[in-house]
Amino acid sequence: MRTDLFDFVLPDSAIALYPAEPRDSARLLVVHSVKGGCARDDADLDDKQVRDLPDLLRPGDALVFNDTKVIPAALSGVRMRGETRAHVDFNLTKRVSDNTWRAFARPAKRLEAGDRVHFGHSEDVCLQGVLDAMDSSPAFIRTVSWDVVAWNAAAAVVLTDYDALLPVERNILRLLFLDQRSRTLQLDWEGMAKFVVAVFRADIARARADVSVEPLVEELHQASADFARIWDDGDVRGFGDGLKQLRHPVLGDITLEYSAFSVDGRPDLSMLVYNTTNTVDAGRIRALKAGQMKA
């Protein structure tokens, strides 16, 4: 089979990033059966909406449901082979382990066993690879508005299961002030909340991002009386190294040492790494990732 026959151009503007509202208003393409089994021209096609589906079904029709979960799994990389370079696109299909995925590559003919492919914002860095290499240390990448845009498996089981959240929900401030689980996870929520807001103020001032984060600040000011109170205090603090104490539903009380790092060439990004203070907790995090510990 020639798989290249299935290739087609799909512009970003035609890709739905969020579900239609209301859901049944989503567009539906109806392909009418014709002699030979295939639609031959536009006359054999109809633009409908999902709400029209009941009227289109006939006795004996088969309705097939696709319940697969869509993940953000498209990557573009540069294959490195000596002095030659070639761009290759990948679609991840199945996670085999913390650091291994099955994937489709296009064009696959540009790849040979042993080739090295670089991903990321430059040819010498792959941020996800750096995160995944820390198997017992929760770590993530955040933007200047404190959106979490990348994380490792340890962060998902110890801090927050970011995979289960919509992109707009993966914001440290929204989680801290609007999510009840995040509140209960903190041994000293009030102290942590004051610290986070003060560091956030310092970050946006340093990045000169006051205007870009105004909508987020206004949203939280309206949604959380605690945020409004703490924000209006106007405290500003720097962020470097320190301790974070959590009350985890499985691990119990745990203390982590955190450090913040800038990302070379990306002043809008920061990497936060949380290290355990002893080997016992490190082993327990590995066991939790492997599904060997339950609440």
Domain match, 254 and 135 both: yes
At CA 256, angle to CA 144 and CA 155, rounded to 5?
A: 55
Q: Is the pLDDT of residue 176 over 90?
A: yes
In the prediction, which pLDDT does 269 show?
87
Domain match, 42 and 105 both: no
Q: Is the pLDDT of residue 141 over 50?
A: yes
- What does the alpha-carbon distance between residue 248 and residue 192 come to, in Å, rounded to a whole number? 15
- What does the alpha-carbon distance between residue 239 and residue 259 come to, in Å, rounded to a whole number? 8
Domain match, 145 and 264 both: yes
Q: Is the pLDDT of residue 41 over 70?
A: no
Domain match, 113 and 208 both: no
Domain match, 153 and 277 both: yes
Domain match, 224 and 275 both: yes
Domain match, 217 and 193 both: yes
- Quick one: what percent of the chain has pLDDT higher than 70? 88
Q: Is the pLDDT of residue 138 over 80?
A: yes
Lowest model confidence (mean pLDDT) among 47-51, 173-177, 235-239: 235-239
User: For the chain, what is the mean pLDDT?
Assistant: 84
Give the pLDDT band (50/70/90) at residue 274: very high
Domain with 238, as residue range(s), is: 127-289
Indicate whether 32 belongs to any domain: yes
In the prediction, which pLDDT does 120 show?
64
In the prediction, which pLDDT does 109 show?
82
* List of E strands, the chain: 27-31, 45-49, 74-81, 84-97, 100-106, 116-118, 139-143, 148-151, 241-248, 252-263, 266-276
Q: Is the pLDDT of residue 124 over 50?
A: no
Q: Is the pLDDT of residue 102 over 70?
A: yes
pLDDT, tens digit, 9 for 90 and up, residues 248-265: 999 999 999 988 888 877
Indicate whether 197 belongs to any domain: yes
Indicate whether 3 belongs to any domain: no
Q: Is the pLDDT of residue 123 over 50?
A: no
Domain match, 109 and 131 both: no
Indicate whether 1 belongs to any domain: no
Domain match, 100 and 132 both: no
- Quick one: what percent of the chain has pLDDT higher than 90? 34
Average pLDDT on 214-243 reads 87
Domain match, 109 and 132 both: no
User: Of the candidates 27, 59, 91, which is a domain's last residue?
Assistant: 59
Q: Is the Cβ–Cβ distance between 272 and 260 less than 8 Å?
A: yes
Indicate whether 5 belongs to any domain: no
Domain match, 267 and 213 both: yes
Domain match, 140 and 283 both: yes
Could you give the number of structural domains in the chain? 3
> Residue 270: how many CB atoms within 10 A of its CB?
19
Indicate whether 55 belongs to any domain: yes
pLDDT, tens digit, 9 for 90 and up, residues 65-83: 887 766 667 788 888 787 7
Average pLDDT on 200-212 reads 82
Indicate whether 227 belongs to any domain: yes
Indicate whether 64 belongs to any domain: no
